[in-house]
Amino acid sequence: MKKIIHINDLVIEYELIRRKRKTIELKVDPSAGLVITAPESLSIKNIEGLIIKKRKWIIEKKESMEKRKEKTQIKKFESGEKFMLLGYKYPLEVIEVDSNTSRLNFIDKRFVLEHSGCEPEFIKDIFVKWYKKYAQIVLNERVKKYSKCFEVSPKQIKAKEQKKIWGSCTHDNKLLFNWRLAMAPNWVIDYVVVHEMCHMVHKNHSNDFWNLVEKTYPNYQEAQKWLKENSLALDIVH
């Protein structure tokens, strides 16, 4: 739910998400802006009181995001451009063909795109489909790796479009992940996988939840830091 608060001459737009939780969380997301996750019973007055209190932090975060966006390279899908895969950048080789069939492969540490003069938006879709398939394979492997740490098993593992979050766990233990994780290093993917698998046990962010995360993946704070610093690089910008 999108909302707006006016603080003197300052206008702050935010998205409010209600959840069954005890604490309130403020997050500035590159695509969604200010996102607030709050308990179902918390009043708008209290929520906006926190926004007023944190307005300096919110403004600084937004300005920092804008500066990072300016540095983000717009992809033209031309030979020589580099794309992320598992934390490394690999070059793209474009081969124009007469056939109407377009395809993308990863061969000898490079992306190879065969197409017949397609529009950039169409090529972007080809990349997204490829990354989704690749992410699905990687995520299946990483979940299998950590499954021995849990007494419960996921009902489903799926890589999909999730612009605002890296992963989620449904009430019936379906694990849903952002396909862009295919661009992150394996050790960062492992953190997101463990995070969501811990939600199969604890459907909240309680101390018990974080204790389980730390027990299963002690390096989780480094992974969180990496995601915050590199989130804008994990995308196909056009």
| DSSP state letters, 24-57 | -EEEEETTTEEEEEEETT--HHHHHHHHHHTHHH
Confidence (pLDDT) at 17:
93
The upper half-sphere exposure of residue 234, i.e. CA atoms within 13 Å in the direction of its Cβ, equals 27
Q: What is the mean pLDDT of residues 150-176?
A: 94
Rounded to whole angstroms, the Cα distance separating 89 from 110 reads: 9
Confidence (pLDDT) at 228:
86
pLDDT of residue 134 exceeding 50, the answer is yes
Cα–Cα nearest to 117, from 104, 101, 131, 139:
101
Handedness of CA 188, 223, 227, 198 (dihedral sign): positive
pLDDT digit string, tens, across residues 175-194: 999 999 999 999 999 999 99
Confidence (pLDDT) at 73:
64
Phi, psi values for residue 7, rounded to 5°? -120, 95
Report, in angstroms and rounded to the nearest whole number, the Rg of the chain calculated over CA atoms: 20
pLDDT digit string, tens, across residues 21-60: 989 999 888 767 899 999 999 999 999 999 999 999 999 8
Q: What is the mean pLDDT of residues 103-127?
A: 89
pLDDT digit string, tens, across residues 64-113: 777 666 556 678 888 999 999 999 999 999 998 877 788 999 999 999 99
Those residues with Cβ within 8 angstroms of residue 89's Cβ, 6 or more apart along the chain or in another chain: 82, 83
Asked if 16 and 47 touch (Cβ cutoff 8 Å), the reply is: yes
Rounded to whole angstroms, the Cα distance separating 135 from 160 reads: 9
Those residues with Cβ within 8 angstroms of residue 141's Cβ, 6 or more apart along the chain or in another chain: none
Q: What is the mean pLDDT of residues 125-149?
A: 96
Confidence (pLDDT) at 238:
46
Domains of the chain, each with CATH number or no CATH:
2-71 (no CATH), 82-90+118-233 (3.30.2010.10)
Rounded to whole angstroms, the Cα distance separating 30 from 163 reads: 9
CA angle in degrees (0–180, nearest 5) for 140-146-148: 115
Rounded to whole angstroms, the Cα distance separating 211 from 230 reads: 25
- Comparing 61 with 198, which gets the higher pLDDT? 198
pLDDT of residue 232 exceeding 90, the answer is no
